Amino acid sequence: MKAAILGATGYGGMGVMKLLANHPSVETILPVSSSRPGEHLTAAYPGLAPALLEKTHDGVLLGVEEARAEDPDVVFAALPHLKSAEVCAPFFDSSVVIDLSADFRIPDVALFESAYGSKPPREDLLSRSAYGLTEWFRDEVRRADIIANPGCYPTAALLPLLPLLRDGLVTGPISITAMSGISGAGRKASVNLLFTERSENVNAYAPGTTHRHWAEISHYARRYLAGGSDAGGTHGAGANAGGGSPTTGATGLEAPTAGAGGVADQILFTPHLVPIKRGIAATTSCEATAPNPSSASPHVPSLRHGTCAGRTVATSASTSRAACFFCSALSITWRRAPPARPCRT
């Protein structure tokens, strides 16, 4: 398999290449950079592993047209929001495109516009795309030729939350508190990302419903409420690799009035920037009913429950360490009870 990586010199693109370097089905890696074509990869990242360089064209960064001429089987786009779909245009009819930006993540045009200040750049292609949360959309991902890689915060928040929503266990407001490493903001120069600004310093930003990723979280939470009929399939006509950049996360979003979305309309999400290089830790808390073992979701093999002040309270937590957009570990437990067997989906 031949894989092209657009935006290869950013943190997201480099993370993808490191994973592909050891992938047995990937024989050739085509690193692409519009800003640095012709340069050697080691100029951007000194000390790269030989296994990665051996799969590239002598380690030289290619331009977009050069990559298109190579006719790659799959294209990973680690590019900024609202620009990624435009750069990917030459590949849509010939390659599988996995987009790490937000350009194809939210099929609701109005919701996308409220989060990103513009309509989806390729609204005409939303029906061909699938949301890449493979634990829940695996069959759709297999059939799609455009895959929207989920945002970093939504991945960490949705994986523990969706099983509870699918089984109808959530009965009250949902609070998500998440912490992100600095690489989530992307590879760029910014005063608030300097070592002296971030070291020994933690801050919340874009709280409540004002962060762009709130729109993505709430959209997919609604789809899985008690196994809603909209839970499967591709988007249908109506996804910057870092997604939830601490420097641009705030939006003009307003929380919808509680109604058809029920508890999904009561989600509050507060991200924090913490002084680590990468990774996400997210804690999701909500009021919930005790699970019925006979009807538990296959995504939740074992759960314990407890009561607090006359109500059942569920707490879910997920941690990501592989990269800012990959969730690698997940546990679901119930407050005031010993930890249940971890969910390994």
Span 27-44, pLDDT tens digits: 999 999 988 898 999 988
pTM of the model: 0.77
Catalytic residue among 88, 152, 324, 327: 152
Tell which residue, 162, 183, 224, 176, has the closest CA to residue 204: 176
Q: What integer pLDDT is reported at residue 244 of this predicted model?
A: 39
Confidence of residue 320 (pLDDT cuts 50, 70, 90): very low
CA dist 75 and 91 (Å) reads 8
Q: What integer pLDDT is reported at residue 310 of this predicted model?
A: 32
Residue 42 φ/ψ, nearest 5 degrees:
-70, -15
* Architecture (CATH level 2) of domain 153-334: 2-Layer Sandwich (3.30)
Tell which residue, 20, 29, 26, 3, has the closest CA to residue 95: 3
Least confident segment among 13-22, 142-151, 326-335: 326-335
Q: Is the pLDDT of residue 181 over 90?
A: no
Model pLDDT for residues 208-234, shown as the tens digit of each residue: 888 899 999 999 998 877 454 344 445
Instruction: Report, as an integer, the average pLDDT of 295-314.
Output: 42
2-150: CATH topology: Rossmann fold (3.40.50)
Burial tier of 178 (Cβ tally within 10 Å: 0-12, 13-18, 19+): buried
Output the six-digit token pair for 318: 């997920």
Confidence of residue 293 (pLDDT cuts 50, 70, 90): low
Q: What integer pLDDT is reported at residue 69 of this predicted model?
A: 96
Q: What integer pLDDT is reported at residue 260 of this predicted model?
A: 38
Q: Which residues contact 6 (CB under 8 A, 6 or more apart)?
A: 13, 32, 64, 67, 75, 76, 77, 78, 79, 84, 87, 88
Where are the domains positioned within the chain? 2-150, 153-334
Select the more confidently predicted residue: 252 or 289.
289
Least confident segment among 66-70, 75-79, 259-263, 336-340: 336-340
Q: What integer pLDDT is reported at residue 83 of this predicted model?
A: 95
CA dist 279 and 152 (Å) reads 9
152 is known as an active-site residue: yes
Q: What integer pLDDT is reported at residue 135 of this predicted model?
A: 92
What radius of gyration, in Å, describes the C-alpha atoms of the chain?
A: 20
Model pLDDT for residues 27-86, shown as the tens digit of each residue: 999 999 988 898 999 988 888 888 899 999 789 999 999 999 999 999 999 999 999 999
Q: Is the pLDDT of residue 315 over 50?
A: no
